[in-house]
Amino acid sequence: MRRASLLVAISFGAAILAALGLFVVYVAGGQPQVEGALLFVALVGIGMGLMVWATRLMTGIGHVTQARRHAPPPSGEKEAATEAMAGGVEEMSRRRLLFRLLLGAAGALGLAAIFPIRSLGRAPGASLFRTEWRAGLRLVNVDGNLVTRDTLEVDSFTTVFPEDAVGSGDSQAVLIRVPPGSLRLPADRLAGAPDGYVAYSKICTHAGCALGLYLAAVHQLRCPCHQSTFDVLNGAEPVYGPAARPLPQLPIEIDPDGTIRALGDFTAPVGPAFWDLPPS
């Protein structure tokens, strides 16, 4: 008993000192680790003090047994409650016309209250089917600088945007330079990938993360979120992971002066699947 009350006193005392210490630390400019440690002592001091007090010093208060209900309420009680509830509804539904009008009014108002939800966002329209890329737009990097034939070494890649939409969420693309002649694309798509330069949407077709990892040795793009992996040489077809669709290709051309331009928009809607996406 004496030891317990001493323990409680020490706990509360430590809490007081720690709280005063917190005050000093705060005035002195604050320091996260010291604040955390002092807060710990102050709070646990009070907590432990209270718990020791209750368990060790309140020996006079023992266990008490109380009755509790161990069956559903008697049926009379239940019926009375049901009767009171149902009786009220019947009192109203008796006037059939008024009751129906009330339901109608509530329903109509509820319907009207739904409409403001429409204000929450733009209509999707065709926005998921197109990006900012147009024929003739030059490719720029994240700093807005033009990307040219000389920007990339073979087996390296960079993130590109249309020149007027740097940082755009849906237009982001990766431009990759692979050894010339190594691409295995259908003829019409190969035309949009001159001299070993090929561009794909940077948005993973699985869950929409930006593809960040290019495994140059195997020419694969990998998503850091769920490890979907796309074969760059073979039209960015998925070769591993949960993605089902290839990355859409951005057809490009190279001007005689080395400037790289888009030939149009991506070959398919970018990003993850959605209901209105037609099967490819």
- Selected binder of other proteins within 127, 145, 156, 182 (CB under 8 A): 127
Between residues 18 and 252, which has the closer beta carbon with respect to other proteins?
Answer: 18
**DSSP three-state, residue 140:** strand
Contact flag: residue 144 with other proteins (CB under 8 A):
no
- Selected binder of other proteins within 13, 104, 144, 167 (CB under 8 A): 167
**Under a CB-based contact definition with an 8 Å cutoff, are residues 237 and 172 in contact?**
no
- Selected binder of other proteins within 2, 109, 122, 153 (CB under 8 A): 122
Element (H, E) at 189: helix 187-190
Please identify, among the stretches 89-97, 98-106, 185-193, 266-274, the one whose residues bind other proteins according to the rule CB under 8 A: 266-274
Nearest to 183 by CA among 233, 250, 142: 233
Contact flag: residue 116 with other proteins (CB under 8 A):
no
Neighbours of 260 (CB within 10 A): 23
- Selected binder of other proteins within 98, 224, 255, 258 (CB under 8 A): 224
Dist. CA 57–CA 2, nearest whole Å: 9
**Under a CB-based contact definition with an 8 Å cutoff, are residues 246 and 186 in contact?**
no
Site for other proteins in 39-98 (CB under 8 A): 39-55, 58, 61-72
Please identify, among the stretches 99-107, 147-155, 225-233, 248-256, the one whose residues bind other proteins according to the rule CB under 8 A: 225-233
Task: Please state the closest distance from residue 235 (CB atom) to other proteins, in A.
Answer: 16
123 DSSP 8-state letter: -
